[in-house]
Amino acid sequence: MGSAVAAHAARRGKRVLGVERFALGHDLGASSGRTRIIRKAYFEAPAYVPLLERAYELWTALERETGTVLVDRCGVLVVGSATSLALAGVRRSAAQFAIDVEEYSAAKMHERWPQCRPLSAEAGLFERDAGVVFPERGIAAHQRIAIAHGAELRAHTEVAAWSRRAGGALELQFRGGARIETERLALCAGPWMGSLTGELALPIVVQRNVQLWFGAPAAQLGECRMPAFFVDRAGFPKPLYGTPDYGDGLKAALHGFGDRVEPDALDRAIAPEDIDAVARALDAWLPGAAATYREGKACMYALTPDEHFIIDLDPRDAGIVIAGGFSGHGYKFAPVVGEIVADLALDGAARHPIDFLSLKRFTSRRPPL
Ligand SMILES: Cc1cc2nc3c(=O)[nH]c(=O)nc-3n(C[C@H](O)[C@H](O)[C@H](O)COP(=O)(O)OP(=O)(O)OC[C@H]3O[C@@H](n4cnc5c(N)ncnc54)[C@H](O)[C@@H]3O)c2cc1C
């Protein structure tokens, strides 16, 4: 998100400094793992759809500008039973925004994708225009655009604290003692937001989530390429999702399945239990797909209580924008978040409808959605 903000703010002709505590393009935060699902018929809430429409436009523009493929429109298949909230949510967003989604019975699903095993009571909703976005490439593309428009990006520079000088600028203090002054500050610290927002006590908890890659016999999955999938099945510990094999294996994970952690104490080693939980679900959905475990990576969700993002001005200081709590579904929005945060920082208001993401919802009695 920070790279996207730097790109959008720099494009608007502002003097921009982006700071990153690790190397640029590191894999220790929330955005690593080579693939992220992107879809528009958003089951989490229809209010996200206008933001997604803009995100799609901005991803396409970024692809053109950088000459990089950032999105693969391989389609996304969402599967569930009649009581699945995910299926109901896809239908609701699709109906409200006329998004093209194809309905499949279990038999039709199996006919089209013979390798999958839906239960007889399950149905599938296939969104053809959805697919996969490649996060490391997206981050690099935003950084290239930021630099091309004059931004400075400083790696291995950790913000230790910030304060507002009496009647003046914001002062950032870096670990090691260096200080700078700035007029506006965008805080996009992912799982580390808590360490920069202090007494604001944002309601964000961090959860360990593993993503795993499996090899499978080519005949099993190669002939008829699976789209990305999200299977909301009562028998699984959490919904199973996966992305196609881009030469490094089929990636699969359980959405929101993991222990609460402190980000600097994340256990990055993959345990046999991590593999078992995902492999069992994957094998039920795509028999044979979990035959060979290849690699795994621990990552972090920054969860808010309602699992909706927080994008707002800091109630203590209107020169500061807070963008965090992306709750395990934020990456696809990166370019539109960049645009929104740049708007908030530079104009004090966003051009897109984001009231439902405000901090007010945690103190007001009226539900935002
Ligand atoms: C396993 C997994 C699967 C996911 N799947 C999907 C998906 O399919 N689709 C989707 O849309 N989203 C998905 N997400 C969610 C998405 O990846 C995240 O919401 C998004 O990447 C969050 O980005 P971020 O910029 O907030 O966090 P990060 O990428 O973690 O960036 C925060 C950055 O701030 C830096 N930082 C922190 N503190 C400081 C400091 N004090 N000083 C300087 N720098 C600092 C960090 O080093 C880091 O680089 C998934 C997440 C995970 C973990």
Rounded mean pLDDT, 104-133: 97
pLDDT higher than threshold 70 for residue 222: no
Q: Distance from the CA of 30 to the center of ligand 1, in angstroms?
A: 3
pLDDT higher than threshold 60 for residue 56: yes
Q: Do the bridges between strand 159-164 and strand 152-154 make them parallel or antiparallel, or are there none, so unpaired?
A: unpaired
At 221 the pLDDT is 52
Residue whose CA is at the smallest distance from ligand 1 atom 20? 331
Per the structure, the count of domains in the chain is 2
Rounded mean pLDDT, 110-126: 97
Calpha distance 11→18 (Å, rounded): 14
Q: Which residues line ligand 1 at a C-beta cut-off of 6 Å?
A: 1-2, 19-22, 29-31, 33, 36-37, 158-159, 188-192, 196, 209, 211, 253, 299-301, 324, 326, 328-332
Q: What is the CATH number of the domain that holds 177?
A: 3.50.50.60
pLDDT higher than threshold 90 for residue 57: yes
Ligand 1, pocket-test mutation among 3, 8, 31, most atoms within 8 A of CB: 31
Whether the pTM exceeds 0.85: the reply is: yes
Ligand 1, pocket-test mutation among 3, 36, 188, most atoms within 8 A of CB: 36
Banded model confidence at residue 364, pLDDT cuts 50, 70, 90: confident
Shared domain for 7 and 19, answered yes or no, is yes
Residue whose CA is at the smallest distance from ligand 1 atom 31? 190
User: Among 222-236, 281-295, 351-365, which stretch is predicted with the lowest mean pLDDT?
Assistant: 222-236
Shared domain for 80 and 117, answered yes or no, is yes
Residue 109 lies in domain: 47-132+213-258+269-291
Shared domain for 156 and 278, answered yes or no, is no
Q: Where are the alpha helices (DSSP H) in 34-73?
A: 49-66
Banded model confidence at residue 219, pLDDT cuts 50, 70, 90: very low
Banded model confidence at residue 123, pLDDT cuts 50, 70, 90: very high
